Chains A and B, each alone.
Chain A
Amino acid sequence: MSGDPYVWVAAILTLGVFSFLYRDNAFFCFCEHLVVGLSSGYMFCTYWDGVFVPELLAPLWQSGTGENAHLWVPVAICFLWACKYVEKTKDMYRLALAFWLAIDLGLSIPTHMDAGVLAQIAGTLRAPLHGSPVEVAGHLVMILGTSLALCYFFFSREQKGLFGVATKGGTWVLMIGFGASFGYVILSRIYLLIGRLLFLLRDWLGLVG
Chain B
Amino acid sequence: MKLSVALQKLNALDRRWIFIGVFVAVAVPFFIPVSFVAEPTPTTLTFDRALGEALNRNQPIVLDVDFGPQTMAEMEPLLQAVLHRVFQSKRPVILLTFMTESAAPLRTVLARMEQTYQLRYGQDYVFLGYASAYAYTMHGLGTSFGNYFHADDRGTPIEKLPLMKNVHSLRDVSAVVNIASNSFPKFWIQYAVTPFDIDFLAGTTAVQAAEYFPFLQTGQLKGLLGGGRAAAEYETLLLRSGVLTRRGDATRGLGSQSLALLVILAFIAIGNVGWLAARRAGRTS
Give residues in A with beta carbon < 8 Å to B.
21-22, 39, 42-43, 46-47, 50-51, 54-55, 104, 107-108, 111-112, 114-116, 119-120, 122-123, 127, 142, 177, 180-181, 184-188, 190-198, 201-202, 207-208
Contacts and interface: CB of A to CB of B under 8 A. Distances in A.
B34 to A, nearest CB: 13
Contacts of A196: 73
Contact of A50 (B130, B191, B206, B214): B130
Contact of B190 (A112, A122, A207): A112
Given A50-B130, A197-B30, A123 B74 contact: no
Of B136, B186, B207, most buried by chain A (CB within 10 Å of CB) is B207
Contacts of A197: 23, 26-27, 30, 256
Interface in B121-136: 129-130, 132, 135-136
B158 interface: no
A115 B189 contact: yes
Contacts of B189: 115-116
Contacts of A180: 210
Interface residues of B, number: 57
A177 B211 CA distance: 10
Given A21-B19, A123-B214, A191 B191 contact: no
A177 B100 contact: no
A115 B220 contact: yes
B22 interface: yes
B39 to A, nearest CB: 16
A108 B135 contact: yes
Nearest to B186: A116
A140 to B, nearest CB: 13
Contacts of B207: 181, 184-185, 188
A180 B208 CA distance: 11
Given A47-B100, A111-B191, A123-B214, 14 more contacts: A21-B19, A50-B100, A55-B150, A114-B195, A115-B193, A115-B194, A187-B261, A191-B229, A192-B74, A193-B23, A194-B73, A195-B72, A198-B249, A198-B253
A114, A115, A191, A193: residue with the most chain B Cβ atoms closer than 10 Å:
A191
Cβ-closest 10 pairs across A and B: A195-B73, A123-B218, A191-B228, A115-B194, A194-B253, A46-B100, A188-B206, A191-B74, A184-B206, A115-B190
Given A123-B217, A184-B209, A184-B226, A46 B130 contact: yes
B205 interface: yes
B118 to A, nearest CB: 26
A108 B190 contact: yes
23 contacts: A39-B101, A42-B101, A46-B130, A50-B130, A54-B150, A108-B190, A115-B194, A116-B186, A116-B189, A123-B219, A123-B220, A184-B206, A186-B264, A187-B227, A188-B228, A190-B256, A191-B227, A192-B74, A194-B26, A195-B73, A197-B27, A197-B256, A198-B253
